[in-house]
């Protein structure tokens, strides 16, 4: 009986890493340094469970950033794969490129492009292209607030229905960074993405990350995410709400 309970808990923990939203969190990959340098981060998550059938999951997230005094470029990639003995549960990923130019002490202009796919949510391909303003609301030694408001063009192609969407959306976010010590970091960000011609068609996302430094550039991370899409792919098994819980090891250089 106890063994069955333990197996159920492990299964729930593993499955919680498989549920995901559609909004990509860029903020947790930004480096907080103000000096000119390259930075690189790599994170792996892997899970394997064997009971009545084998359940395996794998996730890899990579980030490369170059920062000068008034310019920053970020390249991100992410790939997730999960499967059982019978079928694939998840296959998703994205590539993201973003540039940021500082206009003043508190304002900067940023523009980006993104390619994305998400098989569980029946998104065959999604392309984003946009730009807008980013502002520092408050910045202290251990606590900082940021907000951004961007316009983006979105192209979607659904998997089973072959329906295509071409929309213009607003992408707004509010970001909180808290660094109480050199070994602990807390990040929270909220996104709001409505269609400009139909505000009832919107997406929201709340994401948080706790990071504890283990050794030098090595950290342990716990991530939580909740997302809501008012109009997901029009199939009966596609939910409006998704969530994701995950933990893993990250390396930053």
The residue behind tokens 């939910």 is 239
**How many domains are there within the chain?**
1
For the chain, the first-to-last Cα distance in angstroms comes to 46
Q: Tell me whether residue 76 is in a domain.
A: no
Give yes or no for a contact between 232 and 247, defined as CB atoms under 8 angstroms apart: no
Domain-embedded: residue 50: no
> Is 81 among the domain residues?
no
For the whole model, what pTM was predicted?
0.76
Residues 95-110: tens digit of each pLDDT? 999 999 999 988 999 9
% of the chain surpassing 90 pLDDT? 36
Largest CA distance in the chain: 63
Q: 153-194 pLDDT, tens per residue?
A: 999 998 888 889 999 999 999 999 888 888 888 999 999 999
Q: Is residue 87 part of a domain?
A: no
pLDDT per position as a tens digit, 13-54: 333 333 444 566 666 666 555 555 888 888 777 776 666 667
Residue 84 lies in a domain: no
Question: Is residue 112 within 8 Å of 132, Cβ to Cβ?
Answer: no
- Token pair recorded at residue 178: 């808290």
* Full residue range of the structural domain in which residue 218 is found: 2-31+93-252
In CATH, what number is assigned to the domain containing residue 173?
2.40.160.40
* SS3 state at 22: coil
Alpha-carbon distances, residue 208 vs 35, 51, 142, 170 (angstroms): 26, 32, 17, 22
Residue 35 has phi, psi (to 5 degrees) of: -95, 165
């Amino acid at each position: 009986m106890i063994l069955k309970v333990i197996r159920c808990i492990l299964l729930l923990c593993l499955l919680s890493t498989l549920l995901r939203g559609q909004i990509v969190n860029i903020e947790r990959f930004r480096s907080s340094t103000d000096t000119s340098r390259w930075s690189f981060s790599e994170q792996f998550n892997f899970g394997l469970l064997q009971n009545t059938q084998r359940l395996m999951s794998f996730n890899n997230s990579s980030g490369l950033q170059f920062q000068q005094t008034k310019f920053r470029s970020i390249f991100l990639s992410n790939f997730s794969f999960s499967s059982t003995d019978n079928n694939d549960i998840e296959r998703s990923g994205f590539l993201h490129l973003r540039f940021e130019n500082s206009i003043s002490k508190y304002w900067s202009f940023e523009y980006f492009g993104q390619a994305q796919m998400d098989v569980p949510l029946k998104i065959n391909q999604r392309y984003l292209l946009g730009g807008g303003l980013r502002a520092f609301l408050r910045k202290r030694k251990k606590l900082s607030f940021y907000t951004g408001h961007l316009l983006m063009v979105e192209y979607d192609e659904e998997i089973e229905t072959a329906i295509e969407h071409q929309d213009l959306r607003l992408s707004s976010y509010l970001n909180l960074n808290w660094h109480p010590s050199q070994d602990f970091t807390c990040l929270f960000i909220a996104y709001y993405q409505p269609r400009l011609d139909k505000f009832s068609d919107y997406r929201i996302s709340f994401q948080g990350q706790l990071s504890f430094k283990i050794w030098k550039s090595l950290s342990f991370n716990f991530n939580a995410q909740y997302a809501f899409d008012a109009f997901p792919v029009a199939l009966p098994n596609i939910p409006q709400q998704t969530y994701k819980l995950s933990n893993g090891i990250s390396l930053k250089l």
